[in-house]
Amino acid sequence: MEMFINITINGLATGMLIFLLAAGLTLIFGLMDVLNFAHGALFLWGAYAGIWTYTTSGSFIFGIIAAIVACCILGYLLERFIVKPVYGNHIQQILITLGAMLVLSELVKVVWGPNIIHARAPEWLRGSWEIGGIFLIKYRVFIIIVGLIVFAGLLFLLNRTKLGLVVRAGVMDKEMVQALGINIRKVFLFVFILGAGMAGLGGMLFGPYSGVIYAEIGLEYGILAFIVVVIGGMGSVLGSMIAALLVGILGSYAAYFLPEIALAVNFLLMIFILVFKPSGIMGMKEALK
C-alpha cells in the first residue's frame, strides 16, 4: 500500500513539473493557436540560465528569477522576430519555430558546453519527511505546491481579470476585439512572454528534480508539452493539468511495473486519446475538420 502511495506521489510531482512546462504552451498553442516548437528551447534556456545563476550566486530564488527573466526576454525576441511574421500560417509556424528551436538548443551548447550539468536542490529543500512509511521528498512537495500556485494563478488570470477576458475574446474573434479599440497584438505579445516565462520557471525547477540537465531536454520535453496540450484539449488550462498529472502518474507506474514500455507510454496515451476523443480530455470539438 505504501508503495502505491509513494509511486502516486512521485507521479504527481512529475505531473506538476510537466504541467509547469505545458502551461505556457497551453496559452501559446492552445489559446493563440501558434505552433511554437521553440517552447522546448525556452524550457532548456530557463534550466541553463537558472541553474547557472543559482550555482554561481548560491541563491535558489535568484536562480528562479534569472530563469524567468531570461525566458521572458527570449520570448519577447521570439514573438517579435520569429512568430509575428507567420501568425495564422501553421506550416510556416512549424518550420520557423523549428529553426529557432535548433538554433537555441545548439547555442546552449556553445555558451555552456556540450556536457551534462549537475544540479542540486538548495539546503532547505533537501531530504524528506517520513509519515507512516510514506516518504515525502521535500523538493517534490515544493514542486507540487508551485504547480498548484501557477495553476490557480492562471485560472484567476484567464477567468477573473479583464486581461483574461480580452485574451479569450481575442482568440475567438481577433477583428472584433481590435475594432473595440484594444491592441490585440500587444495582448498576444504579453501572453507569449507570459508563456515563455512559465517555461523558464519549469526549466529551472526541472534541474534539481532530475539532478542533471543537458541540451537534449529541449526537444524531449518540448514534445512532451505538446502531447500534454493535445491530450488535455486545446486552450484548456484544467485539461492541461489533468493531462499532465495523467502522464506523470502513468509514467511513474510504467517505470515501476513495465520499464520496457515506459518510454512509449506518453505516445500510446496520446494516440489512444486522439483516436477516441480527438478534441482531447477537456477540449471542444475542434480537432476534427
- Give me the residues that bind another protein (CB under 8 A), please: 35, 82, 85-86, 90-92, 94-96, 98-107, 109-110, 219, 223, 226-227, 230, 260-261, 263-264, 266-268, 270-271, 274-275, 278, 286-289
Minimal distance, residue 122 CB to another protein, in Å = 33
Give the phi and the psi of residue 42 in degrees, each rounded to 5.
Answer: -65, -45
Q: Cell triple for residue 259?
A: 520499464
Dmax of the chain from CA atoms? Answer: 61
Minimal distance, residue 78 CB to another protein, in Å = 11
Q: Which is nearer to another protein, 141 or 223 (CB)?
A: 223
Minimal distance, residue 266 CB to another protein, in Å = 8
**Beta strand pairing status for 212-213 and 134-137?**
unpaired
Minimal distance, residue 164 CB to another protein, in Å = 24
Q: Cell triple for residue 127?
A: 531530504
Type of residue numbered 32: M
If phi over 0 gives left and psi between -120 and 50 gives alpha, with beta otherwise, what is residue 27? Answer: alpha
Distance CA 247, CA 124 (A): 29
Angle, CA of 140, 242 and 196, to the nearest 5°: 70
Minimal distance, residue 144 CB to another protein, in Å = 27
